[in-house]
Chains A and B, each alone.
Chain A
Amino acid sequence: MTIEVQGVRRAFGDVLAVDSISLTANPGEVTALIGPNGSGKTTLLLMLATLLVPDQGAIRIDGLDPVTQPTEVRARIGWMPDGFGTWDALTVREVLLTVAAAYRIAPDRARTRTDALLATVHLEDLADRRARVLSRGQKQRLGLARALINDPSVLLLDEPASGLDPRSRIELRDVLRGLAAQGKTVLVSSHILTELQEVADRAVIVARGRSLETQRLDDEHALTATASWRIDSLDLEGLTAWLADHHVPARRVGGGLTEVEVAGEENAARLLADLVRDGIRVTGYARSQGALESAYLAATEDRR
């Protein structure tokens, strides 16, 4: 159930939406697709969702080509578009039953599946209300349920967290982790890096239609990757002098804070211990940005 994308390119007229994207998403993992607006994430997902033919390059989903075997691919994927539109006149339950019918799921199975999914996305209370009355976040949750109705082994989610309240986000995270734990392949595009940091196993950074790098985000990575730490101190002069003496690269940031670059958590802990031992009065010591954020900012720096 692996997603493999090799050098995919897609233009709309003279607008080059996707220049060259390559990635691999493995079963049992959540792969994040991150990049600035207009970097080609949605276009790539449309190609994966069997809606667009790539101009160049190859896509394989579970070894199947979405261009020549769209039906087989559709049976295996669940796609949640960005800004999920829905049939406003139908009730929430009817929306899911209609999609189930479109997947040729038998009516009785469709009903049990619908009830289960409504519980998963916490829309049971609204099951018999018209989809029109749903808020944006509730519509997103309905979109997730819709994408899951055929029990897909590959999930393609385009900005699933947009419009969700904090509780729904946390629940979405749990749902995605649960799906990955079932051995499904989850590819999720998002802007919200802190969210992805916690849910994704690896991140593919794209900018200007090109995939720049793939970053592992698991614990092992956190132990070794370089990250920025912010230090707040009562003794700013002492701290600056100490850091200069010990050749720690540092820079002043706003609010009297100092930011240092440290490779790995082990080193970060040792630095804090050293500071305290030498009598620097530290009041705050925290990661300034996640590893993902640093990687993202580094990769997309040329945009500025």
Chain B
Amino acid sequence: MSWHGIRTVAALELRQRVRTSKWPVVLGIWVAVIALVAFLAYYATNDEQLRSGEAMYDVVVFFVLGLAMLIVPSLTATSVNGDREHGVLATLQTTLLTHWDIVLGKLVAAWALSMAFLVSALPFMAWAFFEGGVSFGRILLSLLVLVLVLAVICTVGLMFSTLTARPIASAVLTYLAMGALVFGTTIGFALSAFLVTDKEQQTVFGIPDNWYDTHQPPNVDPSDPTLTQEQIDQLMKAGQPTRADCTTFTRTTDVAHTERIWWMLPLNPFVVVADAAPSKPRPPQRNEVSTSAGFTPMRWISGGARLARNGPGGVSDECWVDEASSSSNQDPIEKALGTAPVWPYGLAFLLLAGTGAATVAGRRLRTPVRRLPNGTRIA
């Protein structure tokens, strides 16, 4: 393996790509679609209550990732078996290039092309940045994670193209793998949630169930003409529990131990990208009840994943009375966002998978071949 060899293969790949396919056209459509999405996101979220920059950023980043997951596999998913079909792989294998030169050269070329797509989406991320609400560090972090995730997708595609004889098969397998990562993990998590749900004793801080038995609401007739509106309100309030009525008690209830299955969530590239840089909660502004207003999908995903990881531990705070004065009564997602992130696990898994895929691809290109898989031809 040598830098010279990798560069030779990468230059060959890039030169072919740029000349044969309609990359300028594809890139043009890509930019147009992202621009359209960015504009729509801007208008849809351009509202006093919503935070335009944040929402725009989330939408654009997710769209870039989603579209890239559709386009990037096509860069590598046919690259080895396609070369075999054209009878040009063996002519490289009989030169002084090693199998690692060929694998890494092809990877570098595909990755560089996927970077072209990412770079062309940068202006729209910059737009979201200038809309406000997104920190520069956050953009850098989500870009870094995107770059790594795209590299992993390239590698998975390359691996499948070394494993199957026909390009169509490897393309399908690559898209299936992408689908498993995105939808499979989510569906798997949702379905296995039933498996980890048990009837359990749970400690609850809240209004005991028997509170309402002992505190009969006063028998007030709102249409009684002898009472003023003020008096009616007062009487009604006396029948409602206050924070002082909350006690700690235990109760048997369904508890989902998501902390046993949370690891499925960060395998999803979308969760990794979202959790790496969720938006910061904005300080509450005037006339606002909750701080979690605004369309911020990345924050929801990130908070949800962390919430699942934390599980139903500790005391369940259900003292939902007198909201405005309650300090501990926080949005659970908000609370979860304060805990440790899950994306390092997801990214570590993806990088491990990428390394594994590259290793398999390298082994499959090693010559001389002892065992030739069914249907593959050597030259």
The chain A residues found within 8 Å of chain B, CB to CB, are 12-13, 46-47, 49-53, 66-67, 70-71, 74-75, 77, 79, 81, 83-90, 94, 98-99, 101-104, 146, 150
Partner of B368, one of A67, A102, A146: A67
Is B260's beta carbon under 8 Å from chain A?
Answer: no
Given A74-B95, A102-B95, do A46 and B12 touch, yes or no (CB 8 Å)?
Answer: no
**26 contacts across the A-B interface (CB closer than 8 A):** A49-B90, A51-B368, A52-B367, A52-B369, A53-B370, A66-B368, A67-B368, A71-B98, A74-B94, A74-B95, A75-B96, A77-B94, A85-B86, A86-B88, A88-B86, A90-B15, A98-B8, A99-B91, A99-B95, A101-B8, A102-B8, A102-B97, A103-B96, A104-B4, A104-B5, A150-B95
Given A47-B368, A53-B369, A101-B8, do A83 and B87 touch, yes or no (CB 8 Å)?
Answer: yes
Q: Cβ of B379 and Cβ of A51 under 8 Å apart?
A: yes
- The SS class assigned to the A binding surface is loop
Is B185's beta carbon under 8 Å from chain A?
Answer: no
Is B16's beta carbon under 8 Å from chain A?
Answer: yes
Most A Cβ at <10 Å: residue of B15, B20, B94, B379:
B94
Chain B residues, Cβ within 8 Å of A75: 96
Is B181's beta carbon under 8 Å from chain A?
Answer: no
Is B19's beta carbon under 8 Å from chain A?
Answer: yes
For the complex, what is the distance from the CA of A74 to the CA of B8, rounded to whole Å?
17
Q: Cβ of A85 and Cβ of B91 under 8 Å apart?
A: yes
For the complex, what is the distance from the CA of A87 to the CA of B95, rounded to whole Å?
15
CB distance from B98 to the nearest CB of A (A): 8
CB distance from B369 to the nearest CB of A (A): 6
Chain A residue at minimal CB-CB distance from B370: A53
For the complex, what is the distance from the CA of A125 to the CA of B228, rounded to whole Å?
106
Q: Cβ of A88 and Cβ of B20 under 8 Å apart?
A: yes
Chain A residue at minimal CB-CB distance from B89: A85
Given A86-B88, A102-B8, do A51 and B16 touch, yes or no (CB 8 Å)?
Answer: no
Is B285's beta carbon under 8 Å from chain A?
Answer: no
Chain B residue at minimal CB-CB distance from A42: B379
Chain A residues, Cβ within 8 Å of B90: 49, 51, 81
Given A12-B372, A102-B95, A102-B96, do A89 and B15 touch, yes or no (CB 8 Å)?
Answer: yes
Is B93's beta carbon under 8 Å from chain A?
Answer: yes
For the complex, what is the distance from the CA of A130 to the CA of B94, rounded to whole Å?
23
Chain B residue at minimal CB-CB distance from A77: B94
Is B238's beta carbon under 8 Å from chain A?
Answer: no
Complex A-B, nearest 4 residue pairs according to Cβ-Cβ distance, in ascending order = A85-B87, A102-B95, A89-B19, A101-B8
Chain A residue at minimal CB-CB distance from B4: A104
Chain B residues, Cβ within 8 Å of A74: 94-96
Chain A residue at minimal CB-CB distance from B2: A104
Q: Cβ of A87 and Cβ of B368 under 8 Å apart?
A: no
Chain B residues, Cβ within 8 Å of A12: 372
Given A46-B379, A47-B368, A51-B368, do A87 and B8 touch, yes or no (CB 8 Å)?
Answer: no
Chain A residue at minimal CB-CB distance from B86: A85
For the complex, what is the distance from the CA of A75 to the CA of B98, rounded to whole Å?
12
Chain B residues, Cβ within 8 Å of A104: 4-5, 96
Is B204's beta carbon under 8 Å from chain A?
Answer: no
Is B147's beta carbon under 8 Å from chain A?
Answer: no
For the complex, what is the distance from the CA of A147 to the CA of B4, rounded to whole Å?
21
CB distance from A209 to the nearest CB of B (A): 16
Chain B residues, Cβ within 8 Å of A101: 4, 8
For the complex, what is the distance from the CA of A236 to the CA of B309, rounded to whole Å?
103
Chain A residues, Cβ within 8 Å of B368: 47, 50-53, 66-67, 70
For the complex, what is the distance from the CA of A53 to the CA of B372, rounded to whole Å?
10
Chain B residues, Cβ within 8 Å of A89: 15-16, 19-20
Chain A residue at minimal CB-CB distance from B20: A89
Is B374's beta carbon under 8 Å from chain A?
Answer: yes
B residues 1-29 in Cβ contact with A at 8 Å: 4-5, 8-9, 11-12, 15-16, 19-20
Q: Cβ of A85 and Cβ of B367 under 8 Å apart?
A: no
Chain A residues, Cβ within 8 Å of B97: 102
CB distance from B3 to the nearest CB of A (A): 12
Chain A residues, Cβ within 8 Å of B19: 89-90
Partner of A87, one of B88, B96, B370, B372: B88
Chain A residues, Cβ within 8 Å of B92: 102
Chain B residues, Cβ within 8 Å of A79: 91, 94
Given A89-B19, A102-B8, do A52 and B378 touch, yes or no (CB 8 Å)?
Answer: yes
For the complex, what is the distance from the CA of A66 to the CA of B370, rounded to whole Å?
12
Chain B residues, Cβ within 8 Å of A90: 12, 15-16, 19
B residues 73-106 in Cβ contact with A at 8 Å: 86-88, 90-98
Chain B residues, Cβ within 8 Å of A47: 368
| Given A51-B367, A89-B20; 19 other pairs, CB 8 A cutoff | A12-B372, A50-B368, A51-B93, A51-B94, A51-B379, A53-B370, A66-B368, A79-B94, A81-B90, A81-B379, A85-B91, A87-B12, A87-B16, A90-B15, A99-B91, A101-B8, A102-B9, A104-B4, A104-B5
Most B Cβ at <10 Å: residue of A101, A103, A104:
A101
Q: Cβ of B378 and Cβ of A51 under 8 Å apart?
A: yes
For the complex, what is the distance from the CA of A103 to the CA of B12, rounded to whole Å?
14
For the complex, what is the distance from the CA of A86 to the CA of B89, rounded to whole Å?
9
Q: Cβ of A52 and Cβ of B95 under 8 Å apart?
A: no
